[in-house]
Amino acid sequence: MIYFPHTQSCGTSTGVSVPCMFSSMPRTQYDAALASHQEGLLDIVQRAGINVLWQENDGGCKGVCNRVPNKDIPSIAAPGLCSGEECYDEALFTGVEDHINQLNSDTIIVLHMIGSHRPAYYRRYPDAFKQFTPTFDTNQIQNCSQDVLTNTYDNTLLYLDNTLNNAIALLKHHQDKFNTALVYLSDHGESLGEDSVYLHSMPYAVAPSQQTHIPMLMWLSHDYQQQFAVEETCLRQRAQTQSYSQDNLFHTILEMLNVTTNEYQPEWDILKGCRNRTA
Ligand SMILES: [Zn+2]
């Protein structure tokens, strides 16, 4: 797993960041109305013959998946993983194994995770992941000490780690048939009481770094690195030193799926400088 510690979001809310990161527009030029009327990343890759599946577990894809196959996970209600309208993120794997087994073409599967979303952090993980204690088990987070709030949030991260681990295990399980890779990034950050600020959605220009600094991770199977001539050592070095943002996602994924389009701008492709095409 390669971690990109210097990564910024497009917005401070799901409704801004999700459509922004799947659009060709960079943050500084992002226009939500325009994005909703033009093809996004998934429309383009689908038109290029890539099989697309969007698994939804965060209350909606904000228009990004409207024209591609998508499944609303809470309405499928995996036994033991859902309660009411909310599911743990492990429910995102519902049906994915069967989906992969019937695939005969290149594919992208998007798992839109609820992750650590507000405000009920304690409802984002099963009991087995309540490792940091004491936790705060109500929505009224302003009544919670920062240590206890952080414990509760850290448990959501522990569970996220587990979900990503399961996703990689799933990809490894199918690597006899597919060259696989995984990209993870958050839609935005979260304030946990720093300077008495909580949650997210602050106007971008005045938002604290906790809301705009996001985690990004990449895992490339050995076969994928070989086929696409990606030098992992190079990528690890760049990841540590360079700054990235959600603006990189559109162009990086296009190239990772080997889709050729005029929309592709190599200067935004994270892997670009670490490909050895002569290899
Ligand atoms: Zn969000």
> How many angstroms does the Cα of residue 275 sit away from the middle of ligand 1?
32
* CB 15, CB 31: distance < 8 Å: no
Residue 180: inside a domain, yes or no? yes
Rounded to the nearest 10 degrees, how much is the dihedral formed by the CA atoms of 249, 252, 257, 263? Answer: 90
Give first-to-last CA distance, the chain, whole Å. Answer: 22
Q: What is the pLDDT of residues 1-27, one digit of tens each?
A: 999 999 999 999 999 999 999 999 999
Q: What is the pLDDT of residues 249-279, one digit of tens each?
A: 999 999 999 999 999 999 999 999 999 865 4
> How many angstroms does the Cα of residue 189 sit away from the middle of ligand 1?
8
CATH, residue 153? 3.40.720.10
Total domains present in the chain: 1
* CB 274, CB 255: distance < 8 Å: no
pLDDT at 144: 86
Residue 76: inside a domain, yes or no? yes
**Whole-angstrom distance, CA of residue 2 vs CA of residue 219:** 6
> How many angstroms does the Cα of residue 78 sit away from the middle of ligand 1?
22
Residue 199: inside a domain, yes or no? yes
Residue 279: inside a domain, yes or no? no
> How many angstroms does the Cα of residue 128 sit away from the middle of ligand 1?
24
Residue 66: inside a domain, yes or no? yes
> How many angstroms does the Cα of residue 80 sit away from the middle of ligand 1?
24
> How many angstroms does the Cα of residue 14 sit away from the middle of ligand 1?
3
> How many angstroms does the Cα of residue 195 sit away from the middle of ligand 1?
21
Residue 49: inside a domain, yes or no? yes
Residue 107: inside a domain, yes or no? yes
Q: Which residues of the chain have pLDDT under 70?
A: 277-279
Residue 158: inside a domain, yes or no? yes
Residue-range definition of the domain harbouring residue 88 = 2-274
Structure tokens at 152: 């509760």
> How many angstroms does the Cα of residue 227 sit away from the middle of ligand 1?
34
pLDDT at 94: 95
Strand-pair category, 107-112 with 51-56: parallel
Closest CA to 13 of 186, 150, 163: 186
